């Protein structure tokens, strides 16, 4: 067997290099110190697999030279500098290393929390830099008996919770996508009411960066918080609205903030740096020796597995090769993933089961449909932590039942696919088909027959089927500056109706509350695709 060439584009811990160098089936090229133009033009064409970090952009130029590459391993969590769609088109699997820095991020969160309550950085500077000994200036508070609100209770958030309990804090978690027992089994409170989090003494956020979570703590949320609240963000920049955060810190509404991440980095001239009630670090979440060693080892092992074609751990894409998939199947895979994502956004609750059914020739690819549907559902809560390779394992880990079934095709459509999502709170079923080879449409939502293009921002308004409802909905949307781009209505035999309203713009809580206040409203939600 000929050796596979693995190119390391950026610096990684020596432990990872040793693993690569000691594998007899691998030819290692350590190009971390090579000029980028030489790397792209001369070295990348030799690679079967590449390991990158933030210093090397996997852009069009990189991919154009990647003639032999079958996989790219991003040694870390973030893949902002990787052109994943471009890699997919070339049949290149993109993988990351999402859990190697978990403990580092957890401990940094605790460090910021302690720094905020005791103002260690400022006391340190006052003594060491100013040579002033004034103990009376540095009265802090204790973590003991303080209420900590944790937003996002995954690998990092749950471990922060455990450590906070050791400090005898009163901890409450908010994460609508987990089973409450994940928190309660740790003697940690669980809430579905976000206002419970806003009432805490200290709030820390540990969610992926998605459309739902960007700016989820803004001016309105801060206004509801306790005077003197402490906010921590060691997750992703932009989860806190930085303008609102700045205003809250200046006014004193927020006593202290511990920030490791910013919307735009490097943030060397950010106005938050001018305040004396902020502790800041330059995105150090993964910066421990242990974390760097773990990242390098996992990256090396993943690269070797990929080079040998054994496995693609933590793959973030599924390369689709033209000769391996019939043309008519691709739009159905995309559609079922969209339907899964839509279901998750509408329900916003812990997932119990995902069932996919298919009718017609597309049923021959039902296993792939199940994978894409599962990724669609779980992406809402896990973002890039779930992928086409690990979806089944992630679902199993969360106790989610996956099933699929081929049904006789009596639908009148050549092909029809459907997904049924059962959560802790409700069940939703969505069916769809593809017209003219590429035109994707949702054709059923629960028992309502309607035709909807799965695109853009959609409001789902279920109501009693009484006169004037459509006008009331339109009036509320117009009052809030939302233009209706499409309006589809389905009715059942129980004098109820479901309207799917596509709008231009963002749907706010104010809009949802106004729609929910209508007498005819049974339920209202929205999703964005």
**Which tens digit of pLDDT belongs to each residue from 271-309?**
999 999 999 999 999 899 999 999 999 999 999 988 987
Residues in the chain, total: 529
The three-class DSSP label of residue 484 is strand
pLDDT at 384: 62
Same domain? For 301 and 326 the reply is no
Same domain? For 254 and 395 the reply is no
Catalytic residue among 53, 159, 283, 462: 283
pLDDT at 291: 94
Q: How far apart are CA 137 and CA 120, in angstroms?
A: 12
Same domain? For 192 and 69 the reply is no
How many C-beta neighbours within 10 Å does residue 298 have? Answer: 22
Strands (DSSP E) contained in 343-453 are: 351-359, 401-406, 416-423, 427-435, 439-445, 448-452
DSSP 122-185: HHHHHHHTT----GGG-----STT-EEEEE--SHHHHHHHHHHHHTT-EEEEE-TTS-THHHHT
* Residue 409 vs residues 265, 416, 431, 434: alpha-carbon distances, Å: 53, 8, 13, 15
The pLDDT tens digits of the residues spanning 480-489 come to 999 999 999 9
Q: Rounded to 10 degrees, what is the CA torsion of 215, 336, 331, 358?
A: 180
Token representation of residue 465: 């089927």
Same domain? For 406 and 427 the reply is yes
Question: What mean pLDDT is predicted for residues 60-66?
Answer: 96
Burial class (CB in 10 A: 0-12, 13-18, 19+), 355: middle
Question: What mean pLDDT is predicted for residues 227-241?
Answer: 96
Bridge partners (DSSP) listed for residue 442: 432, 452
Question: What mean pLDDT is predicted for residues 478-499?
Answer: 92
Q: How far apart are CA 208 and CA 528, in angstroms?
A: 17
In a domain, 302, yes or no: yes
Q: How far apart are CA 428 and CA 444, in angstroms?
A: 11
Q: How many structural domains compose the chain?
A: 4
386 pLDDT more than 60: yes
> 479: which DSSP letter?
H
Q: How far apart are CA 69 and CA 65, in angstroms?
A: 9
In a domain, 418, yes or no: yes
Q: How far apart are CA 36 and CA 65, in angstroms?
A: 12
Same domain? For 172 and 273 the reply is yes
Same domain? For 130 and 235 the reply is yes
pLDDT at 323: 45
In a domain, 451, yes or no: no
In a domain, 285, yes or no: no
Same domain? For 110 and 244 the reply is yes
Q: Specify whether the CB–CB gap between 37 and 65 falls below 8 A.
A: no
Q: Look over the chain and give the mean of its residue pLDDT values, rounded to a whole number.
A: 92
Catalytic residue among 53, 159, 206, 236: 236
Question: What mean pLDDT is predicted for residues 444-457?
Answer: 93
How many C-beta neighbours within 10 Å does residue 297 have? Answer: 19
Confirm whether 236 is a catalytic residue. Answer: yes
pLDDT at 381: 86
pLDDT at 324: 60
pLDDT at 212: 84
Q: Specify whether the CB–CB gap between 104 and 286 falls below 8 A.
A: yes
The pLDDT tens digits of the residues spanning 125-163 come to 999 999 999 898 889 999 999 999 999 998 899 999 999
Question: What mean pLDDT is predicted for residues 312-329?
Answer: 69
Domain end call among 272, 307, 342:
307
Same domain? For 55 and 89 the reply is yes
Same domain? For 139 and 35 the reply is no
In a domain, 11, yes or no: yes
Q: In sequence order, which residues have a C-beta less than 8 Å from that of residue 287 and are 6 or more positions away?
A: 104
Residue range of the domain that includes 464:
457-529
Q: How far apart are CA 92 and CA 485, in angstroms?
A: 37
**419 φ, ψ (degrees, to nearest 5):** -130, 135
Q: How far apart are CA 489 and CA 460, in angstroms?
A: 10
Q: How far apart are CA 225 and CA 18, in angstroms?
A: 50
Domain end call among 446, 477, 505:
446
Confirm whether 265 is a catalytic residue. Answer: yes
Token representation of residue 332: 């159905």
| pLDDT band of 322, cuts 50, 70, 90 | very low
Domain end call among 425, 446, 467:
446
DSSP 266-301: S-TT-GGGG-SSEEE-SS-TT-SHHHHHHHHHHHHH
Q: Specify whether the CB–CB gap between 70 and 92 falls below 8 A.
A: yes
Higher pLDDT, 102 or 314: 102
Q: Rounded to 10 degrees, what is the CA torsion of 382, 388, 390, 392?
A: 90
Question: What mean pLDDT is predicted for residues 223-227?
Answer: 98
Q: How far apart are CA 272 and CA 280, in angstroms?
A: 9
In a domain, 326, yes or no: yes
Q: Rounded to 10 degrees, what is the CA torsion of 21, 26, 31, 32?
A: -50
Q: Specify whether the CB–CB gap between 312 and 409 falls below 8 A.
A: no
Catalytic residue among 168, 265, 290, 401: 265
Question: What mean pLDDT is predicted for residues 499-507?
Answer: 93
368 pLDDT more than 60: yes
Q: What is the 3-state secondary structure (H, E, C) of 176-215?
A: CCCCCHHHHCCCCEEECCHHHHHCCCEEEECCCCCCCCCC
Same domain? For 56 and 72 the reply is yes
Same domain? For 121 and 27 the reply is no
In a domain, 88, yes or no: yes
Taking phi over 0 as left and psi of -120 to 50 as alpha, with beta for the rest, 437 belongs to left
Q: Report the candidate in 94, 99, 73 with the shortest Cα–Cα distance to residue 387.
A: 94
Angle at 517 (CA atoms; ends 511, 521), nearest 5 degrees: 100
Q: How many CA atoms lie within 13 A of 146 on its CB side?
A: 22
pLDDT at 390: 75
In a domain, 312, yes or no: no
Decide the pairing of beta strands 49-52 and 26-30: unpaired
pLDDT at 394: 84
Same domain? For 431 and 511 the reply is no
């Amino acid at each position: 067997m000929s050796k596979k060439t693995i190119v390391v584009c950026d610096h990684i811990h020596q432990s990872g290099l040793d693993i690569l160098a000691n594998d007899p089936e691998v030819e290692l090229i350590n190009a971390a110190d090579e000029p980028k133009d030489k790397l792209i033009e001369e070295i990348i064409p030799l690679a079967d697999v590449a390991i990158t970090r933030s210093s090397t952009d996997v852009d069009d130029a990189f991919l154009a030279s990647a003639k032999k590459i079958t996989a790219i391993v991003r040694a870390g969590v973030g893949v902002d500098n990787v052109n994943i769609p471009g890699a997919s088109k070339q049949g290149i699997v993109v993988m990351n290393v999402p859990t190697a820095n978990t403990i580092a991020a957890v401990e940094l969160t605790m460090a910021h929390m302690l720094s905020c309550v005791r103002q260690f950085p400022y006391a340190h500077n006052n003594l060491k830099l100013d040579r002033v000994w004034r103990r009376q200036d540095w009265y802090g508070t204790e973590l003991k008996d303080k209420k900590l609100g944790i937003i996002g209770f995954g690998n990092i958030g749950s471990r922060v919770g455990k450590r906070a309990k050791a400090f005898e804090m009163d901890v409450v978690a908010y994460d609508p996508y987990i089973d409450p027992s994940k928190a309660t089994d740790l003697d940690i409170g669980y809430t579905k009411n976000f206002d419970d989090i806003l009432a805490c003494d200290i709030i820390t956020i540990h969610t992926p960066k998605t459309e739902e979570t960007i700016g989820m703590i803004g001016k309105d949320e801060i206004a509801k918080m306790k005077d003197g609240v402490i906010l921590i963000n060691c997750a992703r920049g932009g989860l806190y609205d930085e303008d609102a955060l700045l205003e809250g810190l200046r006014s004193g509404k927020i006593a202290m903030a511990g920030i490791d991440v910013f919307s735009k980095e490097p943030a060397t001239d950010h106005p938050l740096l001018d305040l004396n009630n902020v502790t800041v670090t330059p995105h150090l979440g993964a910066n421990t020796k242990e974390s760097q060693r773990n990242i390098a080892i996992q990256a090396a092992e993943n690269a070797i597995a990929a080079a040998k074609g054994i496995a693609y751990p933590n793959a973030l894409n599924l390369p689709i090769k033209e000769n391996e998939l019939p043309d008519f199947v691709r739009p159905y895979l995309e559609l079922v993933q969209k339907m899964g994502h839509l279901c998750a956004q509408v329900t916003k609750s812990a997932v119990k089961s995902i069932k996919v059914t298919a009718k017609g020739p597309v049923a021959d690819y039902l296993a792939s449909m199940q994978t894409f549907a599962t990724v669609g559902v779980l992406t809402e809560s896990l973002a890039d932590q779930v992928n086409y390779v690990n979806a089944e394992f992630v679902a199993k880990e969360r106790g989610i039942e996956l099933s699929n079934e081929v049904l006789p095709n009596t639908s009148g459509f050549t092909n029809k696919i459907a997904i049924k999502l059962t959560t802790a709170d409700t069940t939703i079923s969505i069916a769809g088909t593809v017209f003219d080879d590429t035109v994707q449409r949702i054709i059923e939502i629960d028992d309502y027959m309607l035709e909807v293009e799965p695109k853009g921002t959609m409001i789902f308004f279920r109501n009693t089927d009484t006169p004037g409802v459509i006008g009331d909905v339109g009036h509320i949307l117009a009052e809030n500056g939302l233009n209706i781009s499409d309006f589809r209505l389905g009715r059942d035999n129980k004098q109820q109706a479901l309207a799917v309203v596509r709008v231009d713009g963002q749907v706010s809580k104010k809009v949802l509350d106004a729609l929910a206040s209508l007498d005819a409203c049974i339920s209202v939600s929205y999703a964005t695709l």
